[in-house]
Chain A
């Protein structure tokens, strides 16, 4: 649904991250919430109805971007820039208290 204008044929992406175990290209400056929009069904599930949600505001005020980032649950994805090799997993239940 989203594509980077920096993406050019033959030019490798800035980095790879893992989204639910799948190698996914990512670009410098984008956030976890931005990656979630490009991978099918990577959003969170509402803990109330179980419906799929995707990041809505990208500025830290809706909390629809909650994800498990490098093992830490309930991370606000739109506030976290991507890093090479970052592990991003969909959050599929109620807010988990992280360690």
Chain B
């Protein structure tokens, strides 16, 4: 099958792009890993609308209803529960839905595949019942799952506070909150004036904090957090004021911000830019969201973290850019102005410089015994010694240690390897490259490839 545009991801950016492109008459297909539209932010929104979980998820979550409904009504072809495992020039996309592979073509591709939580290794992060705050929130949106027992949260940023509030709204309890954020610096406060326009959001954050303080223990200014236990998490220990502290714990949820999903743009050899303040790579985009490769666009958090409102606007901008380039719309600039997209984007991003300065990524030195690569169980120490005997190149570390060769293909260890190489070689992190990402983008089986050949033979 061939389309004008293939959109990957049915979150805010992908859905709003699809709605715009369909309104302009383009033939659009939207491919998404999830079984229903919404992305991670509005995950399960159609099903949850009638659930007791819905009010507890908060006002922002409810705002996704209209967009999902518009997407459903847009007439875009929609492939849920589908993985894209290869994208080739031209553009040819190879997909798998429920173990059946297929091949489609499109004149342009829009990657709207969002963000992932920043992997932050620490001692014990591979123990069962240690997981991310994002994971816990997905469990809540998916089957209404709440953690039980002594729940600890360790991290920084708006998401842990939001999740904690949702949990409390549903009658859950939090034993304690280990706040890894450093005290607000002057540099963060200096950026506040622009953020006052979004005062409503700030006030909400403060309310969350107050609720969390009331619900349990708030711990600040600690170091060397460790999750410990035999076969699963049993207790947490940390260092504060020269003393080692220890508490029993059943679940530990961690979060240190989110980073763009870049495996697709890396595999496609797009140019990327290192964001020093937030410590992530993002594809270099023009004012329409086009990457360094013609007819390959990125919208939403996959192009740099901006949150769901900014993602919705960037999806529309990319839609207009694509429509202009493919000759579907003659006047994309006029349409962009008429819809006030630049003003809307500026508004949506108003609080971002403040948040970025308030929550820098953690840059504490990893101890040698900490596992950096979960899949192949490679420690920071093993990566350091491989790095000492090789050039500052992640491929060399990979070949020497197998780090990054497991099924996650470096999605968990990529930035850690980069940072350790920079440390050993005395380089700025941004000067060290990320893993070389090769297709397939997801592990696929021989059976899936055979199903593709079968389908092509029949066509």
Contacts and interface: CB of A to CB of B under 8 A. Distances in A.
Interface of A: 1-6, 26-31, 34, 37, 41, 43, 46, 48-49, 51-64, 66, 72, 74, 78-81, 95, 97-99
Interface in B119-140: 119, 126, 128-132, 134-136, 138-139
Given A30-B143, A48-B376, A61-B411, A1 B81 contact: no
Contacts of B408: 61-63
A30 B171 CA distance: 20
Interface string B428-451: 000000000000000101110000
Nearest to A46: B377
A58 B139 contact: yes
A49 B373 CA distance: 13
B145 interface: yes
A51 to B, nearest CB: 7
Given A5-B144, A6-B144, A98-B445, 11 more contacts: A2-B147, A29-B48, A29-B142, A37-B145, A53-B128, A58-B139, A62-B119, A62-B408, A74-B445, A95-B407, A95-B443
Contacts of A59: 40, 116-117, 134-135, 138
Interface of B: 33-35, 40, 44, 47-48, 51-53, 81, 83, 99, 116-117, 119, 126, 128-132, 134-136, 138-139, 142-149, 170-171, 231-232, 250-251, 261, 374-377, 406-408, 411-412, 443, 445-447
B135 A60 contact: no
A52 B406 contact: no
Nearest to B409: A63
21 contacts: A1-B148, A2-B139, A2-B146, A3-B148, A4-B145, A29-B47, A30-B139, A34-B145, A41-B231, A46-B126, A52-B232, A53-B374, A56-B135, A56-B374, A57-B117, A61-B116, A61-B412, A62-B412, A63-B406, A66-B407, A95-B443
Nearest to A7: B144
Contacts of A29: 44, 47-48, 142-144
B445 A97 contact: yes
Nearest to B172: A5
Nearest to B135: A58
Q: Give the 7 A-B CB pairs with smallest separation, nearest first.
A: A30-B143, A58-B135, A54-B128, A27-B143, A63-B407, A58-B138, A48-B377
Query: Interface majority SS on B: helix, strand, loop or mixed?
Result: loop
B132 A56 contact: yes
Contacts of A54: 128-129, 131, 232
Contacts of B170: 5
Nearest to A73: B445
Contacts of B407: 63, 66, 74, 95
A49 B99 contact: no
A64 B119 CA distance: 13
Contacts of A98: 445, 447
Q: A31, A48, A95: which has the most chain B beta carbons within 10 Å?
A: A48
B443 A2 contact: no
A79 B119 CA distance: 19
Q: B116, B138, B142, B446: which has the most chain A beta carbons within 10 Å?
A: B142
Contacts of B40: 59
Contact of B53 (A2, A5, A56, A62): A5
Q: B40, B131, B149: which has the most chain A beta carbons within 10 Å?
A: B131
A27 B44 CA distance: 13
